[in-house]
């Protein structure tokens, strides 16, 4: 019986993907690496250190360690989100929807925990979640299911009883690998990616979710 919902964060609950892109391009520029917006999309959904490692193996810059670049990106994006980060359309609606149905609610993100906590405080939604998990503490990040499985375990929920909300292909793959019923809300420019067919349901906005769609998922 589905009784649990687990949310991704970046690009789903908070409009942070553009801010991640800006922060990455600014910090990478300090080591002589010029990333286009198209290139930053290649690593959406990965952990920050995995993104930095990926581009370091490609560009092989010198002068700053990958750890320093990683920390500078996290510091930068945290500051940008606190300064100008906005809730995604339907954020409060979807949290109220599941709270009214007495669902257990969790968050499973690739972002570092300090960034997650900063975002939840900024949006005043920390109390909505009974479990908050970061993939930084797992051996493997998304698309590996580890962070989803850890969050479900903390909620004392069977993964088969969980709905996962995601916005990226990487995150969707992680949730499906965890055997969760998966809803995707992709960014507008990604909506026609054929890989989203793997999800149980695709929406244009969190506001599109309702009782009828929930009952459809319950039948899966």
Catalytic residues: 8, 10
Please count the other Cβ atoms lying within 10 Å of the Cβ belonging to residue 92: 13
Chain-centroid distance, C-alpha 216: 24
- Rounded to 10 degrees, the C-alpha dihedral 49/23/120/203 comes to -90
Pairwise CA distance, residues 63 & 32, whole Å? 10
Beta-bridge partners for 4: 104, 162
Burial of 204 (0-12, 13-18, 19+ CB in 10 A): exposed
Burial code (b: 16+ CB inside 10 Å, e: under 16) for 35-47 equals beeebbeebbbbb
SS3 state at 54: helix
Tell which residue, 63, 59, 66, 60, has the closest CA to residue 35: 59
Pairwise CA distance, residues 47 & 173, whole Å? 15
């Amino acid at each position: 019986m589905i009784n649990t919902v687990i949310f991704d964060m970046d690009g789903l609950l908070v409009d942070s993907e553009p801010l991640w892109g800006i922060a990455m391009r600014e910090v990478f520029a300090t080591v002589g690496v010029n990333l286009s917006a198209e290139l930053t999309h290649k690593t959406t959904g990965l952990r920050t250190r995995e993104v930095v490692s990926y581009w370091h193996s490609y560009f092989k810059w010198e002068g700053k360690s990958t750890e320093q670049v990683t920390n500078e990106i996290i510091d930068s994006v945290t500051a940008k989100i606190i300064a100008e980060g906005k809730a995604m359309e339907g954020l409060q609606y979807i949290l109220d929807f599941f709270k009214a149905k007495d669902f257990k609610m969790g968050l499973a993100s690739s972002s570092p925990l300090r960034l997650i906590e900063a975002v939840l405080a900024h949006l005043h939604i920390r109390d909505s979640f009974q479990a908050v998990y970061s993939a930084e503490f797992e051996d493997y990040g998304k698309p590996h299911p580890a962070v989803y499985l850890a969050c479900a375990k903390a909620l004392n929920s069977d993964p088969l009883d969980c709905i996962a909300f995601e916005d990226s292909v990487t995150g969707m793959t992680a949730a499906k690998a965890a055997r969760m019923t998966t809803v995707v809300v992709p960014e507008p420019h990604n909506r026609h990616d054929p890989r989203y067919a793997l999800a149980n349901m695709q929406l244009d906005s969190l506001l599109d979710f309702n009782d009828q769609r929930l009952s459809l998922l319950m039948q899966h």
